[in-house]
Amino acid sequence: MSVYTASTTAPVNIATLKYWGKRDKSLNLPTNSSISVTLSQDDLRTLTSVATSSSFTEDQLWLNGTPESLTSERTVACLKDLRALRTAVEARDTSLPKFSEWKLHIVSENNFPTAAGLASSAAGFSALVKAIAKLYELPESMSEISKIARKGSGSACRSLFGGYVAWEMGSEVDGSDSKAVEVAPLEHWPSMKAAILVVSADKKDTPSTSGMQTTVATSDLFQHRIKNVVPTRFIEMKETILNKDFAKFAELTMKDSNSFHAVCLDSYPPIKYLNDTSMKVIKLIHTLNAAAGETIAAYTFDAGPNAVIYYLEENEAVVLGLLHELFGGVAGWEKVDKEQLTLLKA
């Protein structure tokens, strides 16, 4: 019995303009557009291999070596959409094997320690969808495929592209125009670097999905953010990337991180992701920029206390040197102080 296989990787992406809020929970349709930088494939990524055969009796998934359920609503939605597209391919060429009717075996592994406290759902769903699309030889563009990854996890749609990526929120109720598009490839601005400061590897207090629901339902500041702040910022941030204007890119990135955490705090009950160490990192970066006389580093924080610091390669010594001095760390996966601050260069 033949077994057909395909493998792919998908990198972690870190939003510089944050996705926070859904207008449709089951389709993962956002209340605002977002932008991210997808880290290099060599650094933090999920590797997924898929196999299909007429002899397989059930869909199965192994995640980092452990069998996992494939029955979540989100995964089921992704598999259903992928099989529908494969059915169309098979209808056009009836000589093709009927993959759409066969079960899948999926093996997925992250090359970054779970202890890093990084959200892995974006890279995970992106790699899953990309690997099956490859196995099925789907002719659709990556932006089309991104709509399927979006159903797995909103931020996953952005990990289908390398480099600088926008997720256009769209306006259709069926989500047909809510997709990821490339703003610029990684090579466009190769001197851009990111360092991830792992402040805490603990599981986050409030999961993103429920946190977003609370914010949408209760925060007044959130309404201001999605109506008056993000639409202009979305345009401006794309321009700063295309113009390679680091100072402006950094300012928008830091402001958007602060805006996102402000709407979290404005939620009721409030959601707090940053801790005292996060606040120290924020202060440090502002102090560094003031001392440099220009903006040479930017911080951004997702749904947790860990910092991602963006800087240009030419400023690596000063940015990482200062972090090293303050937190006593060295680059690599090492605990560097009692607050478990870890520095990973990405």
One-character DSSP codes across 3-54: -EEEEEEEE-EEEEE----EEETTTTEESS-EEEEEPPTTTSEEEEEEEEET
Indicate the residue among 124 and 329 with the shorter CB distance to ligand 2P0. 124
Would you tell me the crossing angle of helices 230-242 and 246-265 to the nearest 10 degrees?
150
**Which one of residues 9, 11, 12, 19 is an interface residue with ligand 2P0 (CB under 6 A)?**
19
Indicate the residue among 73 and 187 with the shorter CB distance to ligand 2P0. 73
**Which one of residues 154, 162, 305, 329 is an interface residue with ligand 2P0 (CB under 6 A)?**
154
For the chain, strand residue ranges (E) read: 4-11, 13-17, 22-24, 29-30, 34-38, 45-53, 60-63, 66-68, 103-110, 163-168, 179-184, 192-198, 297-301, 307-312, 332-335, 342-345
Partners of 343 in beta bridges = 197, 332
Indicate the residue among 96 and 262 with the shorter CB distance to ligand 2P0. 262
User: Measured between alpha carbons, how far is 50 from 338 in angstroms, rounded to an integer?
Assistant: 41
**Which one of residues 9, 10, 12, 15 is an interface residue with ligand 2P0 (CB under 6 A)?**
15
Give residues with Cβ within 8 angstroms of 24, minimum separation 6.
173, 175
End-to-end CA distance of the chain: 42
Site for ligand 2P0 contains 256 (CB under 6 A): no
Indicate the residue among 146 and 153 with the shorter CB distance to ligand 2P0. 153
Site for ligand 2P0 contains 155 (CB under 6 A): yes
User: Measured between alpha carbons, how far is 71 from 77 in angstroms, rounded to an integer?
Assistant: 10
Would you tell me the crossing angle of helices 276-292 and 316-327 to the nearest 10 degrees?
140
Site for ligand 2P0 contains 208 (CB under 6 A): yes
**Which one of residues 209, 214, 218, 258 is an interface residue with ligand 2P0 (CB under 6 A)?**
209
What string marks each residue from 34 to 53 as x (binds ligand 2P0 by CB under 6 A) or -? Answer: x-------------------
Site for ligand 2P0 contains 258 (CB under 6 A): no
Which span (46-54, 147-155, 242-250, 321-329) binds ligand 2P0, by CB under 6 A?
Answer: 147-155
Site for ligand 2P0 contains 159 (CB under 6 A): no
Site for ligand 2P0 contains 148 (CB under 6 A): no
Site for ligand 2P0 contains 261 (CB under 6 A): no
Site for ligand 2P0 contains 28 (CB under 6 A): yes
Indicate the residue among 138 and 303 with the shorter CB distance to ligand 2P0. 303
Neighbours of 23 (CB within 10 A): 18
The 3-state DSSP class for residue 193 equals: strand
Indicate the residue among 121 and 143 with the shorter CB distance to ligand 2P0. 121
Which positions lie near ligand 2P0, rule CB under 6 A?
15, 18-20, 28, 34, 119, 121-122, 153-155, 208-209, 302-303
